[in-house]
Structure 1
Amino acid sequence: MEVGPQPLRIAVVSDGRIGMENQALGLAEAVGRLTPVEIAVKRVRWRPVFDWLPVSMKSTWMLASGSPFPAGGEAWPDLWIATGRATLPLSIAARRLSGGKTFVVQTQDPRLDPALFDLVVAPAHDALEGGNVVSITGSPHRVTAERLAEAAPAFAGRIDPLPRPRVAALIGGKSKAFDLTPDHAARLADRIAGAMSAVGGSLMLTFSRRTPEAAKAAMTERLKALPGWIWDGEGPNPMFAFLNAADQILVTEDSANMAAEAASTGRPVHVLPMVALKPPGKFARLHADLEERGATRPFDGLLEGWTYEPLAETDRAARAVLKAMGR
């Protein structure tokens, strides 16, 4: 009897924040679309008193959560995929302690020598270079046509009756580079309402955890009369179902994750401006890249459609990981 290949054992490591975890998990799932895998999610958090220490000075006893390393005779994973600053010392240690048994992949720009890891999957807009660096447009994510379709049935009762065209709006919030003030939120809402009135249809809007409450209130007040659904944060997040149902997508310029996820659908993506707190830098490079690919356009107050090849950068990164592992 033939025995199939053993599943690739993958550890997905992050600080537990959804935006971070989804990058590593999305890449792991993309690997799983190419070869059998077993995925274990490891969430880590440093005790606050030690969090500020440089990477080289951190040790696992400083963790507020348990160590993500194997214990009690457990084997090291074949592949370690980690995201975020909190995981950096652990990724470096995993590569050393596993004795080469674990292939260590870090997503995002670690702001350390890429040679400390087996492979770094970094956004092209970070302009990181190195022999073991794979540059992709945006960040790895979990959005695929199949996953979006799987999310749809749970929200079908709310979404299916909505008239077309259906417009999904993904609204971010305050960050180091951008802000969403109540006044700006109100102006955005008025522009969205004007565009919706011209095409009819319905609006499906979701806020991020970073959206200020005053901005939420301002947008909700101005958009609540439109047909559609403004998710209030209660219950499961319908974002994937929104993307599945959308004919067009609006996304604020502050999130590389949201932009890359939206561009993976193949639907027209209109980028909403935010209040800039500093020169846009890498965000300008990202949006220029997405525009060049035909995925996005700055929102001009009109909801016109167009077509483009959906981005599949997470799958490309997964192929690069397996190639680097010799698989």
Structure 2
Amino acid sequence: MTQPGAQNRENASKSCDAFRDGPDVGTVPRVWVLTGFRAGDKAQMLALAEALGWPFTVKQFAYRSFELVTNILLGPNLAGLKRDKSDHLTPPWPDLVISAGRRNEPIARWIKARSGGRTRLVHLGRPWAEPRHFDLVITTPQYHVPPRDNVLSITAPLHQVTAARLEVAAERWRNSVASLPQPRIAVLVGGSSPPYVFDRDMASRLGRAASAMARQAGGSLLVSTSPRTGPAATQALHAGIDVPCHFYAWQADPETNPYLGFLALADAFIVTGDSMSMVAEACATAKPVYLFDMGKGWSRMRSEPPARPELIPLADRLRPRRVLHWLIAHCLPRRVRRDIRLILRGLVANRQAAWLEEESGGDRQSQPLRPSASTDLPRAVARVRALFATPAGD
């Protein structure tokens, strides 16, 4: 884990640069970013903080094993924190707190209480507490957050992919893929995420389908796995590829990771449908994006029926994990459920992405797409800035 305060120091120069481009010194809000437990949450919060152009400090936390209980039952509190391993929370209190994830909700609310209600709270994703406890909730359709004046619904998660970052990444990784034939198709691979299971069979299927698409185009593959892919699925994916490729099996060292370079240098993308972050980042390049459907039966990602009936053996239907996933998806209260298909189907309906056709050898990847730059981040920035047009508490 990064030592407490290390990320703060890392952002010092970044904050200064943002400050120079921001409003006058006397009017610039003080911003704290409460680092997320998940990488996708972190990326969203940093994307928003950077786009605001105000100086910001990242607060890093370590959590207790029982934080779920204290966070749900106690409201604004710090009981779920390991205080000695977390960044300090002391005055002067920030004007704005950006948070995401269940673990940081009570911390953000605790800060607002200590500030006398002056601190504005912006939460990304699904709030477990009632949305009324936040000044602004920026969410996506998968979370079923009901419409309110303080809720902004965007099409996909925010991200840090910018033209400047892509340009730098392209220069760094260009020579690594120069020998591969074009077009180069990047395959961005997530992993198991209930109710979706990315096992050896599914990984092999993806390898074959991606190879067919590249072979028909006379091109190659740029493959990047992730921490959730797992070694067995990674091996099966690699074995299923029979065209020229640059294959990156995820490692903990970010310096070896060509993911951003693949985003910059690929001509098209195949993305597993489990990762909303990777889907959003691929769409941000304004290049063709094809989604790999990881569902079967009731969990099928695409809305249209399959070309031929899906035969799911009874033993598979009754597997404890599959039954549990069905119960979670259908029996929990709507406000705590998640349905990523709502995002994927929206992108397909707007022709920003298309489904990867596996059975046709790639010859149906011809439907016209209209990739375009997302307006989600500018909308989010405008709504956050609007919070400071009126006094806190109004």
- The alignment's TM-score, normalised by the length of structure 2, stands at 0.75
TM-superposed deviation, 1:44: 1.9
Give the structure with the higher percent strand: 1
Conserved 8 A contact 1:31-1:318: yes
Structure 1 position 135, deviation (Å): 0.5
Q: How does 1:1-327 map to 2 (within 5 A)?
A: 5-6=24-25, 7-32=28-53, 37-57=54-74, 59-65=77-83, 66=85, 68=87, 70-71=89-90, 74-128=91-145, 129-223=147-241, 225-234=242-251, 235=253, 236=255, 237-276=257-296, 279=299, 282-300=339-357, 301-302=362-363, 303-304=365-366, 306-326=369-389
Q: Partners of 2:180 and 2:52 in 1: how far apart?
A: 36
Deviates more, 1:281-290 or 1:116-125: 281-290
2: distance between equivalents of 1:110 and 1:61? 19
Contact 1:264 1:312 survives alignment (8 Å) = no
SS of residue paired to 2:372: coil
Q: Deviation of residue 12 (structure 1)?
A: 1.2
Cα shift at 1:277: 8.7
- What SS does the corresponding residue of 1:52 show, helix, strand or coil? helix
Task: Specify the SS of the correspondent of 1:205.
Answer: strand
Partner Cα separation in structure 1 for residue 211 and residue 152 of structure 2: 40
Aligned AA for 2:195? A
Contact 2:67 2:79 in 1 (8 A): no
Output the amino acid matched with 1:21.
K
Question: 1:53, 1:60 → 2: CA distance?
Answer: 9
Provide the C-alpha distance between the structure 2 equivalents of 1:295 and 1:50, rounded to a whole number of angstroms.
39
CA shift at 1:16, angstroms? Answer: 4.1
Is the partner of 1:155 in helix, strand or coil? helix
Q: Which runs of 5+ in 1 are unaligned?
A: none
Give, in whole Å, the separation in 2 of the partners of 1:315 and 1:57: 35
Computed over aligned residues only, the root mean square deviation of the Cα atoms, in angstroms, reads 2.3
- 1:313 offset after TM fit, Å? 1.1
Q: Which amino acid is the alignment partner of residue 107 of structure 2?
A: L
Over alpha carbons, which structure has the higher Rg?
2
State whether residues 13 and 83 of structure 1, in contact with CA within 8 Å, keep that contact through their aligned partners in structure 2. Answer: yes
Greater CA drift, 3-12 or 82-91: 3-12
* Higher-RCO chain (CA-CA 8 Å, sequence separation at least 6): 1
- AA partner of residue 313 (structure 1): D
- Separation in structure 2 between the aligned mates of residue 4 and residue 91 of structure 1, nearest angstrom: 25
Deviation at 1:207, TM superposition (A): 0.8
- Partner Cα distance (1:54, 1:78) in 2: 23
User: More helix per residue: 1 or 2?
Assistant: 2
Indicate if the aligned counterparts of 2:37 and 2:103 stay in contact, CA closer than 8 A: no
Task: Quote the offset at 1:56 in angstroms.
Answer: 3.9
* TM-score of the aligned structures, taking structure 1 as reference length: 0.89
**Residues 38-70 of structure 1: CA distance to partner in whole angstroms, max 9, x if unpaired?**
121112232113443343427325412555564
Distance 2:80 2:348 in 1: 44
Tell whether the 8 Å contact from 1:11 to 1:39 is kept in structure 2 after alignment.
yes
SS of aligned partner of 2:70? coil
Kindly provide the amino acid, as one letter, of the partner of residue 289 in structure 1: G
